[in-house]
Structure 1
Amino acid sequence: MLFGKLLPREGNFFELFNQHGEHIVEGARAFIGMIEHYGDAVERERYAEAVISAEKKADKVTAEVNRLLHKTFITPLDREQIHGLINAMDDVLDLLQDTTETMSLYDVRRMTEETLRLGQLSARCCERVRDVVALLPRISEPSAVEAAMKTCEEIDHLESDADRVMRSAMSKLFREEPDVRELIKLKAIYEMLESITDRCEDVANLIEGIVLENS
């Protein structure tokens, strides 16, 4: 009995999930700021650095979660669920950073309305990810279960909206963009932005599974 009492229990996994969720939103909002101020080189760089900073902070949270998994005897969720969820969340910010860096590497000269629209949908998805993660400590409560499932459904709808915007953006791009190099650049950016909403949907799917198994 003494051995069991001395073993680490629970940990602060939920708090770490919340911290990561806040970093995701921080990175998403900085990304939107970069798009909105893209014509100003100084502001563009400032917002780009903010995206990278958020990603680095989130990486530290991910590392702490994985460290805790090795030290904690009893966890509040299944170990595979914790590992899968934090890595899925990390994928969201990794892709935000990748998109930010790709814009710079490709020397993208201008932002289109479609880029802004896809970025906005991605940011809204990121906010919903943060919101649904915050509900995990209360998934034994019917009201929290209902709220979590509703938020996951909202993420699914946003991902579908992003699909539609990307298809329309691609159609317009191939019909109207005369510069082949710019076409290639924007096509890559559109695809990466749409993929951010896909990664958010991955998080939502994992949380749906956690809620159904633990509620």
Structure 2
Amino acid sequence: MFGRLMPTEGKFFDLFNQHADLCVKGSKEMLALMTNFDDLENRVHAIEGVEKQADAVTYNTIELLHKTFITPLDRDDIHKLITRMDDILDLLEDAGQTISLYDIREVTPEAKRLAELCVACTEKVKVAVGMLHNMNNSRDILTVCEEIDRLESDADHVMRAAMSKLFRDEPDVRTLIKLKAIYELLETVTDRCEDVANIIEGIVVENA
């Protein structure tokens, strides 16, 4: 039954893939921003543009969900998956805007490392989402989800070390507050990627 429904509403998987592509694009823009602050405002603007594109994909997915009588996945799973994916780009946009508003002029190695882990997580999300249309991929999908979990754990470790160093070594309270906010936003991006992985794992268990 599940396999027969796939061709009928494959549009959902196309939309998931479009959104996953945008998640990767947004995270790479964030890493580029963290690598070179010389083009800060243009990078922030680029992230905002990607987020708006992702909002449109999310809207189209939910609109299609309301119009579709028989869906290839559980309706609640479709809604949770696309909204959690959208959270990823919302947080990346928040991080970019916060860097701009706080007038941060240089990046720490820890912030750059968190941005790198955001890219790695979103790339794995893209891989997992790209295989979701075919439950014959279930074993590979679960393996990728485990990799996302490991990357999120890596981000936790980086975050804890960054916070320890920040509170130990940063004498300026304003700088401390600014960097703490950036660390938290970037680490939360990896949390949302893990949420997406958990949703995908649940879909696989239900449908494989």
Native 8 Å contact 2:47 2:93 kept in 1:
yes
2:152 aligns with one of 144, 153, 159: 159
Q: CA RMSD in A?
A: 0.9
Partner in structure 2 of residue 205 of structure 1: 198
Matched length:
201
Partner in structure 1 of residue 36 of structure 2: 37
Task: Give how far 1:125 is off.
Answer: 0.4
Instruction: Please state whether the residue corresponding to 1:134 is helix, strand or coil.
Output: helix
Partner in structure 1 of residue 3 of structure 2: none
Task: Give how far 1:10 is off.
Answer: 2.0
Residue type of the alignment partner of 2:42 = R
Indicate the structure (1 or 2) with the bigger Cα radius of gyration.
1
Q: Which range is displaced more, 25-34 or 102-111?
A: 102-111
For residues 1-215 of structure 1, the aligned pairs below 5 Å read 9-10=8-9, 12-38=11-37, 40=38, 43-139=39-135, 141=136, 144-215=137-208
| Equivalent-residue separation in structure 1 for 2:98 and 2:59 (angstroms) | 25
Instruction: Please state whether the residue corresponding to 2:133 is helix, strand or coil.
Output: helix
Query: Any gaps of 5 or more consecutive residues in structure 2?
Result: 1-7
Percent identical = 56
| Equivalent-residue separation in structure 1 for 2:194 and 2:104 (angstroms) | 27
Instruction: Please state whether the residue corresponding to 2:9 is helix, strand or coil.
Output: coil
**TM-score after normalising by structure 1:** 0.91
Native 8 Å contact 1:62 1:90 kept in 2:
yes
| Equivalent-residue separation in structure 2 for 1:26 and 1:127 (angstroms) | 9
Q: Which range is displaced more, 15-24 or 45-54?
A: 45-54
Task: Give how far 1:63 is off.
Answer: 0.3
Instruction: Please state whether the residue corresponding to 1:63 is helix, strand or coil.
Output: helix
Residue type of the alignment partner of 1:114 = E
Task: Give how far 1:109 is off.
Answer: 2.2
